[in-house]
Structure 1
Amino acid sequence: MATLIPPSPAASTTPPAAGSNPAATEPQKVDYLDLPCPIPYEEIHREALMSLKPELFEGLRFDFMKGLNQKFSLSHSVMMGPTEVPSQSSDVIKVPTANYEFGANFIDPKLMLFGRVMTDGRLSARLKCDLAENLTLKGNAQLTNEPHMSHGMFNFDYKGSDYRTQVQLGNGALLGASYIQSVTPHLSLGGEVFWAGQHRKSGIGYAARYNTDKMVATGQVASTGMVALGYVQKVSEKISLASDFMYNYMSRDVTASFGYDCILRQCRLRGKIDSNGVVSAFLEERLNMGLNFLLSAEIDHKKKDYKFGFGLTVGE
């Protein structure tokens, strides 16, 4: 009689295929009223710059930082190495130089102040102050003995829920504004305008940035003739590959570069090679708590020039 009993509805249902997930096949809906806030317009290439443009130097460098309390610290830097002198010939002319830099830093959750003074007479300062919850003031200035080389600039950065806008004021009647908006959870678009009253020049630019957990692609174009493209691929949590393409259709200058960024347990290694025949590498190794060793190298095959530097950083 068991053969006469009809099967239950649950038993007669055809099981789903192996590995299938009905919920995963449905496209995830995008809530355009809840998009992430993009990064500032001026930092859209920051991942590529971290890999392709490390702070290279030549000669000897020694940095010492001493914290006086939780908010205030002092820094001392000694740099000895050659400095390139501009010349009309293709030969590279270097003059040995040495200078000392003294700095003072004040770091607070809502206020950061950085000041530097060098033995050659240069004085620089940076400021970051949170005027409100979403409004930040940034400023930087530099004073030198050389004529027309001193400058100053203030930026007002407003952070919205899914957009950022910035207004710039600088010496020489420099005015600028930028805006960047998240269009999707991964794509953001923006633009900028500026006016340099001293030189009677104006410009406009556009930018796009697409980022995921594994890659970042950026593009920027401006009326000044600059076209910049960048791409960063995150191979793993500690290894990234980066490339960029720079083109100026006014001067017809083209540069392409490829680089890498490796973060190991005790060191960080960055390097690149570009279309001009320049190969560079930068090593930052942590020898002990508060003690870092630096190695910098650059070879310019076109100019037949090389730069090598090593340094120590003491203090956190």
Structure 2
Amino acid sequence: MASPIPPPTGDTKVDDKVDYFNLPCPIPFEELHREAMMSLKPDLFEGMRFDFTKMLNQKFSLNHSVSMGPTEVPSQSTETIKIPTANYEFGATFIDHPKLLLWGRAMTDGRLNARVKCDVSENLTFKANAQLTSEPHMSHGMGNFDYKGKDYRTQFQFGNGALLGASYIQSVTNHLSLGGEVFWAGQHRKSGIGYAARYNTDKMVATGQVASTGMVLLSYVQKVSEKVSLASELMCNYLSRDVTASFGYDYILRQCRLRGKVDSNGVVAAFLEERLNMGLNFILSAELDHKKKDYKFGFGLTVGE
């Protein structure tokens, strides 16, 4: 007598079904390209920089920053004109994690920067930032309310110059989210609308964004391993027909982190953060623009956590 057919084992593959009533909450609309920006937009600088952070207690810290290096000035010629400058920056940070963040910086050149982040409720967050300067018509401020739903996020923005904006992003599947935005700049009598899509897994992130202003932005990030990520970006304006392609990398070692990029305009950049000791980091920055023959090099130290 033939033996009965054995029951299926746990190795049998079952197609994953999307549970549309239990989708993850997407990232904010303004952070759609954050993985690509980590590799392609490091904090490059020129000259010397020294940053010191002193923790007074668990919530309050003071920051001191000294920078010396050339500053570019507007010129009608093709060559870049630079003048030597030096600047000191004093700041304070208050963090009542995770509900409140107060951040302020005052510089000797007359600029004052401030940021506020406050969790009004479990799902509603208020953010604001402002920059005050002695130059006429250069000060600006902006605030926004960010509401986090179960599987969506929506944001309302307002700023000086009669700037109004709103965005919404919705998870469609476990990996795909779609969103859109609208804005109105009353001072300049300009308005626009945009659409975006983001697809992310444990190994890659692909993002696309298009706006009525003519901007098209595509980015892709591949996580080769836990320490190595590769990024690419294509940015174009179909109204002015300007196109730029960029390729970057993010390499995390035990004691340092190396980021860099190269783009179609002939710009090559690299940014190195080396941890020398607990609370002491050494920074190297380089940006080579072969087309404009503009070469920038910088080094610095960061003391404090």
State if a TM-score over 0.5 links the two structures: yes
Which position in structure 2 is the counterpart of 1:46?
Answer: 34
Distance 1:15 1:72, change over 3 A: closer
Task: Please give the alpha-carbon distance, in whole angstroms, between the structure 1 residues aligned to 2:152 and 2:171.
Answer: 6
SS of equivalent to 2:19: coil
CA deviations over 1:144-203 (Å, ceiling 9, x no partner)? 011111000001000000000000010000000000000000000000000000011100
**1:184 pairs with 2:173:** yes
Q: CA deviation at 1:75?
A: 0.2
1:223 corresponding residue in structure 2? 212
Q: Percent identity?
A: 81
Instruction: Measure the CA separation in 1 of the matches of 2:102 and 2:7.
Output: 65
Matched, 1:76 2:64: yes
2:11 matched to which residue of 1? Answer: 21
Distance in 2 (CA, whole Å) between partners of 1:198 and 1:137 is 24
1:107, CA displacement in angstroms? 0.3
Q: Which runs of 5+ in 1 are unaligned?
A: 1-5
Distance 1:15 1:153, change over 3 A: closer
SS at 2:122 equivalent: coil
Aligned match of 1:92 in 77, 80, 103? Answer: 80
Query: What residue number does 1:30 align with?
Result: 18
Structure 2 residue 255 is the aligned partner of structure 1 residue 269: no
Deviation at residue 250 of structure 1 after TM alignment: 1.8
Question: Distance in 2 between the 1:187 and 1:250 partners?
Answer: 29
Instruction: Determine the C-alpha separation between the residues in 2 that align with 1:190 and 1:215.
Output: 19
Write the distance in 1 (CA, Å) between the matches of 2:6 and 2:64: 74
State TM-score, norm by structure 2: 0.98
Q: Give unpaired runs (5+ residues) of structure 2.
A: none
Residues 1:258 and 2:235 are matched in the alignment: no
Letter in 1 for 2:280: L
Aligned AA for 2:46? E
Match of 2:292 in 1: 303
- Tell me, in whole angstroms, the C-alpha distance in 2 between the residues paired with 1:128 and 1:170: 16
Alignment of 1:276-315 (within 5 A): 276-315=265-304
Q: Secondary structure at the match of 1:21?
A: coil
Instruction: Give yes or no for the alignment of 1:154 onto 2:143.
Output: yes
Q: CA deviation at 1:50?
A: 0.3
**CA deviation map 1:198-239 (0-9, x unaligned):** 011100000000000000000000011100000000000000
Specify the SS of the correspondent of 1:73: strand
SS at match of 1:51: helix
Q: Deviations over 1:19-58 (max 9, x none)?
A: 9932x1x211110000000000000000000000000000
In the alignment, what sits opposite 1:3?
none
In structure 2, which of residues 210, 229, 232 is the aligned counterpart of residue 240 of structure 1?
229
Separation in 2, partners of 1:268, 1:149: 35
Distance 2:295 2:21 in 1: 53
* 1:133 has 2:110 as partner: no
Q: Which residue of 1 aligns with 2:90?
A: 102
Match of 1:49, SS state, is helix
Partner Cα separation in structure 1 for residue 297 and residue 151 of structure 2: 44
Question: Structure 1: which amino acid aligns with 2:278?
Answer: M
2:48 to 41, 46, 60: 60
SS at match of 1:161: coil
Counterpart in 2 of 1:202? 191
* Matched AA of 1:229: L
Shift of 1:14: 7.6
Tell me the equivalent position of 1:120. 109
Secondary structure, counterpart of 1:302 in structure 2: coil
Distance 1:15 1:182, change over 3 A: closer
Task: Indicate how the Cα distance of structure 1 residues 20 and 111 shifts in structure 2: closer, same or farther if over 3 A, else same.
Answer: closer
